[in-house]
Amino acid sequence: MKNYSKLAWFAVALTLFVVVLGAYVRLSDAGLGCPDWPGCYGHSAWPNEAAEISKANQAFPERAVEVDKAWKEMVHRYFASFLGLIVLGLFIW
């Protein structure tokens, strides 16, 4: 039971972090930095090489790649997904 409590408090702290990180993403105008989900322009991480960016721009012509926005969005998605897994684990436990 003690481990459950520790994990629950960790989830609370992570929730606060995800909320603050989400506010940062939104205030930096990076909320739609990646048009698809769960990836980013068809990749598991944001495209950062010229060939990847060119390919992503061809695949998503309506949303040009902006690397500075994409990495912020993906970091937020990773933390939020991790939080979701922890909540699911707490529910199953």
Residue 66 a catalytic site member: no
Please pick, among 49, 52, 66, 73, the residue that the annotation labels catalytic.
73
CA 26 vs CA 31, 32, 36, 39: distances in Å:
5, 9, 17, 18
Cα separation, 11 vs 54, in Å, equals 38
Cα separation, 88 vs 6, in Å, equals 15
Catalytic sites, residue numbers: 73
